[in-house]
C-alpha cells in the first residue's frame, strides 16, 4: 500500500542502510517572510582511510546528538561513541554498541560486548570493562540508562549480570524472556531453568514455578507484571501472581496505558482464538491480531477473521466484514478508531465503523494531534493523492509518503513523487522540489517546518522552505530531525570521504511555515 522510487539519491540504502546523497540547493518557492537561521556543523567521528565501517551496528542517541558504531582496521575491531574509541579486540558482538539515557553530563551511557582471546567475552560500559566470562549476550540498558544487564556464561552455568554483579546461576537463562527492565528501570525480570525445573526471577529473587516462562511484560507504571507459563502442551497467563485458565496457546500480553487493564489472545481447543480483557472472554475467530488499547485505556480493539471474513472487534462488538484488514489507530483523544480495509481489489479507510470512499489502495491512517482531522494516502487510476477528513486533494502524483500534521493540527505536509522529482508539499502547495527529500518535521508549536533535501548529489537543510548553506552527502536512514525548542533543532548527517558523522544544529531567528 505504499509507493516506491529509485534514484541516485538512494545508492547508500544498499551500501550503508543510510539515505544516499545528492545536495546543491533545491528550487523552493520562497515563503514570505523567509526564515532566517544559522547552522553549526560539529564533527562527531570519522571512519579513516583503511578502516571498515559496519553500517548495521550504527546507533543514534535518543536526543539525536550522538552516534555509536563498530568498525575495524588492520589492528582489530573497535567500538566508538562519537570520537571516543574503545580498545582493540578480536570482535564486537552483533547488536552492539548500544546508547541509552539522555543529554547532559553523566546521563548518556553506551556499551558493547567485546570478544576476547580464549573464547572469553566481556561487556564494556562507558569504556569501563566488566569481568571476563565464558560468553556474554543479551546486553540491555534500563530506559534511563542508569542500569544494565546481560547474560553471562560462568563455568558451565548461566547468570544474569546487573551493573557488574552476577545474580544466581542457572542451567539456562531464557533470553526470549529477558533480562527485561520495567519502564522505570527499577525492576528486572527473566525466566530460567535448572534441569526441567522452571524459575521466574524478579528483582534478583528466584521463584520456582510449575512450568517454564515463555514471555514477560511489565505494566507501564512498573507496578504490575504478567507472564506466559507453559506446562506440557498447555499455556496460562499469570497476572500479579494469579494464574488464569489454561489454553492451547497464549500470545500478545498487553497492559493498558494506565496499567489498570490487561488483555491477551488465547487459542481454545476446538473453538479458535479469543481475546481476554481483565479475564473476560471476547469474540475472536480463526485468527486474531494484536490488542490495541486506546490512549485513555477505556477501549480495546483488535482485528480477527473467520474463514475469509475479516472484522474489527471494538469493546467486544464485531464491526463490518472485509476481505482483509490493515493497520488500526485510535485518535489521541481516544474518541475515534480508524483502520485500513480491503474489499476484493479495492481498499478503503474505515472510521468509527463507517466506510470512507473506496480506492485502489490506501495508506496508513494519520490523526492530527488534536484528533479533529484524519489524513491518509490513496491510489486512484494508478495515481496517488492525499485524503483529508474524507475529502480527496486535487493533486495527483506518481507516489506519496505518509502525511504529517503540525502539532496544532492546522497544517499538513507530505512528500510527493512525480517522475524523477520529489516535492515537499505543505497545505496542498509545492514548497520545494528535489531529487530526494526526507520527511518534514514541525517544531513543537508548529511555527517552523524543517527537512533535508538533495539536488545534484548533495544535501541541504530547509527551514520553512528556505535552503541552508551547509552541504552534506547523506542523511541517516531514519532521517530524524529533533527539536528541543521552538527555534532550535538538530540532526545527524554524513560527509564523504569516510563517512564522517556531523551533528548539525539549526538556530532559527524568524519566519513561519510556508
Q: What is the mean pLDDT of each run of 10 residues along the chain (514 residues)?
A: 38 33 35 79 96 96 95 97 97 97 79 96 98 98 95 97 97 96 97 96 96 97 98 97 97 98 96 97 97 98 97 97 98 98 96 96 98 98 97 97 96 97 96 96 95 95 95 88 95 96 93 52
DSSP lists the bridge partners of residue 442 as 449
Question: What whole-number distance in Å separates Cα of residue 229 and Cα of residue 202?
Answer: 15
- With a CB cutoff of 8 Å and minimum separation 6, the contacts of 205 are none
CB atoms within 10 A of CB 422: 26
Residue among 461, 511, 447 nearest 490 (CA): 461
**497: exposed, middle or buried (C-beta count within 10 Å: 0-12, 13-18, 19+)?**
exposed
Reading the block at residue 497, the C-alpha cell is 570521504
Contact (Cβ atoms closer than 8 angstroms) between residue 340 and residue 362: yes
The pLDDT assigned to 373 comes to: 97
SS3 state at 486: coil
> What is the strand order of the sheet 324-330 is part of?
324-330, 337-343, 346-351, 354-355
* Terminal Cα distance for the chain, rounded: 29
242 bridge partner residues: 239
H runs (alpha helix) in 8-109? 11-16
Rounded Cα gap, residues 268 and 247, in angstroms: 6
- Nearest residue to 5 via CA among 458, 348, 341, 423: 423
pLDDT value for 510: 64
Judge contact between 288 and 301, C-beta under 8 A: no
pLDDT of residue 105: 64
Confirm if 86 and 110 have CB atoms less than 8 A apart: no
pLDDT in tens, 192-239: 999 999 999 999 999 999 999 999 999 999 999 999 999 999 999 999
Distance CA 22, CA 393 (A): 30
Neighbours of 87 (CB within 10 A): 11
Burial 92-125 (b: 16+ CB within 10 A, else e): bbebbbbbbbeeeeeebbbbbbbbeeeebbbbbb
- Spatial contact of 136 and 118, defined as CB atoms under 8 Å apart: no
Task: Return the sign of the alpha-carbon dihedral for residues 247, 253, 258, 259.
Answer: positive
Contact 474, 19 (CB under 8 A): yes
CA distance 8 to 191: 48
pLDDT at 270: 87
The whole model's pTM is what? 0.90
Residue 350: count other Cβ atoms within 10 Å of its Cβ.
22
Nearest 5°: phi and psi at 129? -70, 140
Cell (9 digits) for 22: 545528492
In angstroms, the CA 167 to CA 205 distance is: 9
Quickly list H helices, 292-394.
none
Cβ pair 197, 208 in contact under 8 A: yes
CA dist., res. 101 & res. 95, Å (int): 18
Write the burial class of residue 158 (CB in 10 Å: 0-12 exposed, 13-18 middle, 19+ buried): buried
Asked if residue 460 lies in contact with residue 470, where contact means CB atoms within 8 angstroms, the answer is yes
Distances, alpha carbon 227 to alpha carbons 249, 250, 348, 394, 424, in Å: 13, 10, 37, 51, 46
Please report the DSSP string for 291-315 in residue order.
-EE-TTSS-EEEEEEETTEEEEEET
CB 262 within 8 A of CB 254: yes
**Start-end of H helices in 17-76:** none
pLDDT of residue 308: 95
What pLDDT is attached to residue 15?
32
Amino acid at each position: 500500500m505504499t509507493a516506491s522510487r529509485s534514484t541516485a539519491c538512494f545508492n547508500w540504502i544498499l551500501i550503508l542502510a543510510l539515505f544516499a546523497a545528492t545536495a546543491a540547493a533545491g528550487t523552493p518557492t520562497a515563503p514570505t517572510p523567509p526564515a532566517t537561521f544559522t547552522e553549526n556543523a560539529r564533527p562527531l567521528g570519522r571512519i579513516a582511510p583503511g578502516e571498515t565501517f559496519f553500517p548495521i551496528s550504527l546507533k543514534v542517541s535518543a536526543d539525536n546528538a550522538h552516534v555509536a558504531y563498530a568498525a575495524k582496521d588492520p589492528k582489530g575491531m573497535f567500538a566508538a561513541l562519537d570520537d571516543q574509541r574503545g580498545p582493540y579486540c578480536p570482535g564486537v558482538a552483533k547488536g552492539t554498541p548500544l546508547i541509552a539515557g539522555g543529554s547532559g553530563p553523566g546521563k548518556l551511557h553506551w556499551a558493547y560486548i567485546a570478544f576476547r582471546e580464549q573464547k572469553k567475552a566481556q561487556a564494556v560500559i562507558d569504556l569501563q570493562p566488566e569481568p571476563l566470562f565464558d560468553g556474554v549476550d543479551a546486553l540491555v540498558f534500563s530506559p534511563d540508562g542508569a542500569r544494565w544487564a546481560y547474560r553471562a556464561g560462568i563455568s558451565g552455568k548461566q547468570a544474569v549480570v546487573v551493573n557488574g554483579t552476577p545474580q544466581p546461576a542457572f542451567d539456562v537463562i531464557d533470553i526470549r524472556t529477558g533480562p527485561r527492565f520495567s519502564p522505570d528501570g527499577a525492576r528486572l525480570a527473566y525466566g530460567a531453568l535448572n534441569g526441567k525445573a522452571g524459575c521466574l526471577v524478579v528483582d534478583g529473587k528466584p521463584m520456582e514455578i510449575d512450568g517454564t516462562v515463555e514471555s514477560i511484560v511489565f505494566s507501564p507504571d512498573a507496578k504490575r507484571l504478567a507472564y506466559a507459563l507453559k506446562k506440557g502442551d498447555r499455556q496460562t497467563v499469570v497476572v500479579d501472581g494469579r494464574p488464569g485458565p489454561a489454553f492451547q496457546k497464549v500470545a500478545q500480553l498487553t497492559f493498558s496505558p494506565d496499567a489498570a487493564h490487561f488483555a491477551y489472545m488465547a487459542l481454545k481447543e476446538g473453538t479458535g482464538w479469543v481475546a481476554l480483557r481483565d479475564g473476560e472472554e471476547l469474540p475472536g475467530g480463526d485468527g486474531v491480531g494484536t490488542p490495541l488499547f486506546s490512549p485513555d485505556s477505556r477501549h480495546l480493539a483488535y482485528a480477527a477473521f473467520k474463514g475469509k471474513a475479516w472484522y474489527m472487534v471494538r469493546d467486544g462488538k464485531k464491526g463490518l466484514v472485509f476481505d482483509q484488514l490493515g493497520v488500526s489507530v485510535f485518535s489521541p483523544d481516544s474518541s475515534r478508531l480508524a483502520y485500513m480495509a480491503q474489499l476484493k481489489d479495492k481498499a478503503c479507510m474505515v472510521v468509527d465503523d463507517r466506510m470512507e470512499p473506496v480506492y485502489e489502495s490506501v495508506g496508513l491512517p494519520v490523526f492530527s494531534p488534536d484528533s479533529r482531522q484524519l489524513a491518509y494516502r490513496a491510489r486512484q487510476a494508478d495515481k496517488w493523492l492525499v485524503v483529508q477528513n474524507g475529502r480527496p486533494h486535487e493533486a495527483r502524483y506518481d507516489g506519496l509518503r505518509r502525511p504529517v500534521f503540525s502539532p496544532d493540527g492546522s497544517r499538513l505536509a507530505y512528500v510527493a513523487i512525480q517522475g524523477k522529482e520529489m516535492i515537499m508539499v505543505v497545505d496542498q502547495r509545492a514548497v520545494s522540489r528535489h531529487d530526494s527529500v526526507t520527511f518534514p518535521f514541525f517544531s513543537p508549536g508548529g511555527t517552523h517546518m524543517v527537512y533535508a533535501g538533495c539536488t545534484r548529489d548533495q544535501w541541504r537543510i530547509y527551514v520553512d522552505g528556505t535552503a541552508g548553506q551547509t552541504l552534506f552527502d547523506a542523511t541517516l536512514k531514519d532521517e530524524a530531525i529533533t527539536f528541543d525548542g521552538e527555534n532550535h533543532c538538530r540532526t545527524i548527517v554524513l560527509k564523504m570521504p569516510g563517512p564522517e558523522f556531523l551533528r548539525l544544529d539549526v538556530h532559527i531567528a524568524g519566519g513561519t511555515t510556508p
